[in-house]
Amino acid sequence: MLRQHSGEALCRRCFVRSVERTVFKTIRRERLFAPEDKVMIALSGGKDSVALTHILSVMGKAHGKELVALTIDEGISGYREEGLEISRKICRDLGVEHRTATFKEFYGYTLEEICALAKEKASPLLGCTFCGILRRRLLNDAALEMGATKVATGHNLDDEAQTVLINILRGDVDRLARLAAKPSVLRQGFVPRVKPLRYVPEREIAVYVYLKGYPLYERECPYVRASLRDEVRDMLNLLESRHPGTKFSVVGGSNRIFEMLKGSLAESSIRRCVRCGSPTGREVCRMCEVLSLLGIDKKGCAPAPDE
C-alpha cells in the first residue's frame, strides 16, 4: 500500500497494523470509551462496520469491554438480507453478541411500505431521508433499551470529510461543530455516538477488510438516488488525487472549528418532543414529523393534530 498523503510504502502486515494503530490512537486521544462503557456497534454488514466490529472485538478481548452489535433491517427486499447474513456470521466468528432490530417491529412499516405511502401522498421526501431519520432514532432507542452507553459507527475519513463540506455548503455551523464533538460533550438524552474509523480513508478500510478475509458487500440499495453527497464525494476524490492529504485537512479543520465553537454549543436548546417525549432541538422531533406526513401514528406517541 502506497500512501500518497504520507509517502509511506507498507507491506501487508505493516499496513494491517497501521490501520489498527490509527483506530486505537483515535480511541485513546479522543477518549471515545470509558472503562465501564457498554458499546453497541452499528453493524450493517458493509465494509466499514465489518472493519469496526473486527477491531473493536480485538480491543474488547484485550480490555474486557462489553460489546453488542446491532443490525437494523429497514425492510428492503433483495438488499438487506445479505448484510444481515454477513453480520450474523461475523459476530458468531468473533464471539460478539448480535441483535437485529426491524423497522416493521418498531414503526409498524417496512421502508418499502413507507416509500409506497410517501408516493401515494406525493411526498417530495426521498427514501433515504425517511431511512436516515428513522434509522437514527431506532439506533438510539435500541441502545437505550440494551443499556449501551456508547454507539460506535463505521464512519470513515471520506464520510467525515464529505459531511464537513456538506455542512459548510448548507451553512449549518451547528452541525459542523457537533461533528467533531467528543462524546462527553454531546447533548444529553442521546446515547453518545463515537466514530473510531474517522481517520482511516475508505480505500484503506476496503483493503483491510479484504486482507482480513471478510466478504466485501457492495450491493446497491434500490432507493439510492443522486445526491449532494455524491457530488461532494467526486470533488473530494479529485482534490485528494491532485493534493494528497486534502481529506485529512478537511477533517482536522473541522476539529479546530469545534474547539473554537464548543462554548457556544447550546446544551440548553435540548427540549422534549411534544408527541413522543424524545430529546430534540425542536418542538416536534424529525421522526414524528416525517411519520405524521405519512399519516402514521407510532405506538406511544401523541397523535398529530389535524391539519
Contact positions vs ligand SF4 (CB under 6 A)? 74, 127-128, 131-132, 221, 223-224
CB-CB neighbours of 168 under 10 Å? 16
Which C-beta is closer to ligand SF4: that of 217 or that of 223?
223
Residue in the structure block whose three cell numbers are 463505521: 154
- Least Å distance between CB 229 and ligand SF4? 10
Q: At what angle do helices 246-261 and 157-170 cross, to 10 degrees?
A: 60
Which C-beta is closer to ligand SF4: that of 49 or that of 57?
49
HEC per residue, the chain:
CECCCCCCECCHHHHHHHHHHHHHHHHHHCCCCCCCCEEEEECCCCHHHHHHHHHHHHHHHHHCCEEEEEEEECCCCCCHHHHHHHHHHHHHHHCCEEEEEEHHHHHCCCHHHHHHHHHHCCCCCCHHHHHHHHHHHHHHHHHHHHCCCEEECCCCHHHHHHHHHHHHHHCCHHHHHHHCCCHHHCCCCCCCEECCCCCCCHHHHHHHHHHCCCCCCCCCCCCCCCCHHHHHHHHHHHHHHHCCCHHHHHHHHHHHHHHHHHHHCCHHHCEECCCCCCEECCCCCHHHHHHHHCCCCCCCCCCCCCC
- Least Å distance between CB 87 and ligand SF4? 14
Which C-beta is closer to ligand SF4: that of 133 or that of 211?
133
- Least Å distance between CB 131 and ligand SF4? 3
- Least Å distance between CB 17 and ligand SF4? 32
Rounded distance between C-alpha atoms, residue 23 and residue 182, angstroms: 15
Which C-beta is closer to ligand SF4: that of 128 or that of 168?
128
Which C-beta is closer to ligand SF4: that of 146 or that of 221?
221
- Least Å distance between CB 111 and ligand SF4? 6
Which C-beta is closer to ligand SF4: that of 67 or that of 118?
118
- Least Å distance between CB 79 and ligand SF4? 7
What is the phi/psi pair of residue 273, to 5°? -60, 130
- Least Å distance between CB 113 and ligand SF4? 13
Which C-beta is closer to ligand SF4: that of 128 or that of 261?
128
Which C-beta is closer to ligand SF4: that of 30 or that of 112?
112
- Least Å distance between CB 266 and ligand SF4? 28
